[in-house]
């Protein structure tokens, strides 16, 4: 029996050509049963293939909450064993891409999520931020990972639901770290499968107007939600130093610090810090939860 994969795709009707290319590559997948939902984030989707269902949200609730809505729309007795979250400008280059990801999941039952390698379709470059580990230069080395590139990832539905889904109120940025840490805290892991490539344009996250504010705010929220109390100041001090070094524009840096202050005012949601056992496991896996 073919495995069932529930696929969630968000749209704001702002990438008509790329969106149709993404959907064409998705619907061409072999060796699996697909259930697809298209979530219109603040819009009514202007393209919905006959085999897909659509959900229209009256307001843009952000990417993580839009993904939650899509996953919930496909929940129930017919839900697939796997959830696949696909950016609407990503393309699956071969019809066996999803089947190979599922095969990796079966080969690594300890892994809650499987991360393919993301590469630009034009030059084949995999950006550093797409490699879910510290040694990002080794883009072709498979192995256990502690975070994820959330725009293109396969997650076991049972693990996703046990972890509580994405942190919807983050709106954008760092939601993948939050979910990955919760999955690890459940005793699970993640697996990077670079032999499976998915195409995605190599764009800069700074193209989003709210990038610096949301990145800083969500760092604080992430720390308060998931880290043991002694690690919170270490984590935030580390990322403050990294950001001061990386952000050369004084105006952008001021926005970053404003976001940091916003994070400290509250709004992070439920505090459920990971256990010290999880801290040790993450550290042994190559990424202590302070960087």
Asked which of 171, 203, 235 is the last residue of a domain, the reply is: 203
Domain contains 166: yes
Query: What are residue 6's DSSP bridge partners?
Result: 35, 83
Residues 6+ apart with CB under 8 A from 12: 40, 41, 42, 43, 60
Residue with tokens 């992070």: 268
User: In the block, which residue shows the tokens 């630009």?
Assistant: 120
User: Quick one: which of 116, 129, 134, 132 has its CA closest to 286?
Assistant: 134
For position 134, what pLDDT does the model report? 84
Q: Which of 173, 203, 233 is the last residue of a domain?
A: 203
pLDDT tens for the 291 residues of the chain, in order: 899 999 999 999 999 999 999 999 999 999 999 999 999 999 999 999 999 999 999 999 999 999 999 999 999 999 999 999 999 999 999 999 999 999 999 999 999 999 999 999 999 899 988 999 888 788 999 999 999 999 999 999 999 999 999 999 999 999 999 999 999 999 999 999 999 999 999 887 776 669 999 999 999 999 999 999 999 999 999 999 999 999 988 999 999 999 999 999 999 999 999 999 999 999 999 999 998
Number of structural domains (the chain) is: 2
Question: Where does a domain end: 152, 187, 203?
Answer: 203
| 63 shares a domain with 196 | yes
- One domain for residues 198 and 225: no
**Which residue pairs from 105-108 have beta carbons closer than 8 angstroms and sit at least 24 positions apart in sequence?**
105/154, 105/156, 105/191, 108/189, 108/191
The whole domain housing 12 covers 4-203
**Cα separation of 243 and 92, whole Å?**
33
Give the pLDDT confidence score for residue 271 in this predicted structure: 97
Same structural domain, 188 and 267: no
Residues 41 and 157 in one domain: yes
Q: How many C-beta neighbours within 10 Å does residue 57 have?
A: 17
List of residues 6+ apart from 161 with CB closer than 8 A: 75
């Amino acid at each position: 029996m073919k495995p069932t994969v529930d696929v969630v795709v968000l749209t704001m009707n702002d990438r008509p050509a790329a969106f149709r290319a993404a959907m064409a590559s998705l619907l061409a997948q072999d060796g699996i049963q697909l259930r697809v939902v298209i979530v219109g984030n603040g819009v009514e989707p202007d393209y919905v293939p006959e085999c897909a269902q659509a959900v229209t949200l009256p307001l843009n609730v952000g990417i993580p909450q839009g993904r939650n809505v899509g996953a919930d729309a496909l929940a129930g007795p017919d839900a697939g064993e796997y959830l696949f979250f696909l950016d609407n400008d990503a393309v699956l280059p071969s019809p066996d891409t999803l089947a190979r990801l599922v095969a990796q999941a079966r080969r690594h039952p300890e892994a809650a999520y499987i991360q393919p390698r993301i590469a630009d379709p034009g030059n084949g470059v995999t950006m550093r931020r797409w490699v879910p580990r510290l040694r990002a230069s080794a883009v072709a080395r498979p192995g256990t990972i502690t975070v994820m590139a959330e725009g293109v990832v396969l997650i076991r539905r049972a693990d996703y639901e046990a972890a509580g889904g994405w942190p919807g109120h983050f709106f954008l940025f760092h939601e993948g770290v939050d979910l990955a840490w919760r999955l690890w805290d459940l005793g699970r892991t993640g697996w990077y499968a670079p032999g499976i490539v998915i195409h995605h344009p190599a764009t800069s996250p700074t193209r989003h107007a709210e990038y610096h504010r949301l990145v800083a705010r969500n760092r604080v929220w992430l720390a308060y939600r998931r880290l043991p109390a002694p690690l919170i100041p270490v984590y935030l001090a580390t990322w403050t130093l990294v950001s001061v070094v990386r952000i050369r524009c004084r105006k952008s840096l001021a926005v970053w610090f404003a976001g940091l202050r916003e994070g400290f005012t509250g709004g992070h949601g439920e505090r459920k810090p990971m256990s010290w056992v999880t801290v040790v496991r993450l550290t042994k896996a190559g990424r202590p939860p302070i960087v």
